[in-house]
Amino acid sequence: MASMQRVEEIEKEEYERFDVPFQRLGFWVFLSGEIIILGGLVAAGILFRLSYPGWFESSTYTNVVISSINTFVLLTGSLTAVLAHKYAVDGNWGKVQLFLGLTALAGLTFVGLKFIEYSKEIALGFVPSKNVFWMFYYGLTGLHGAHVLAGTLIIIGVMLYIRKKKLVEAVENAGLYWHFVDIVWLYIFPLFYLT
């Protein structure tokens, strides 16, 4: 009888060790799907980069300066997202609002600079129908830009949400999404901008 009780206590302890908040688990499942989709597209881009003869010549026409600034902007947004999470854990919700706002500003800056970059390239005649490089370029960077915009909207939504309900998990999930977008960019940047 005592040994049966001990087995039940051990099982209960094991379950308690793997307690994961529902919001965190659900968000990781969502991110897993995003990783599969964008990861597959980036892998296809890498394969084309290695096999398409005109890739390197076409990549010399991309704007390395704007994309480098955008890389800095995204990474700075990751820093501010981490700081927002830190202050959420500490319970300093005023600073959470500040750093989430700075992260959202980074997202809007990225999208604005991407729009300027696209405008310049299209004006020079570099459109998706020009060749495989430009098709992949606009497809992947455009999809990534849509994810940055979605991340920005998520962060703005979290900023509004935490005014009413102080939920650390909401700040954490918004930051996770931002980091995911950053990591994807760190694969896209050398794919299209470095020869």
Give me the residue label for tokens 């202050």: 87
| Amino acid, res. 181 | V
| Amino acid, res. 101 | G
Mean pLDDT of 66-73: 97
Asked if 132 and 54 touch (Cβ cutoff 8 Å), the reply is yes
Separation of alpha carbons 63 and 78, rounded Å:
23
- How many C-alpha atoms does 51 have within 13 Å on its Cβ side? 7
Digit-coded pLDDT (tens) for 101-127:
999 999 999 999 999 999 999 999 999
Separation of alpha carbons 73 and 189, rounded Å:
13
Using a pLDDT cut of 70, give the percent of the chain over it.
Answer: 89
Separation of alpha carbons 110 and 103, rounded Å:
11
Comparing 193 with 1, which gets the higher pLDDT?
A: 193
Mean pLDDT of 76-91: 97
Sorted by where each starts, the structural domains of the chain and their CATH numbers stand as 27-193 (1.20.120.80)
Q: pTM of this prediction?
A: 0.86
pLDDT band at 159; cut points 50, 70, 90: very high
Asked if 171 and 158 touch (Cβ cutoff 8 Å), the reply is yes
Asked if 41 and 139 touch (Cβ cutoff 8 Å), the reply is yes
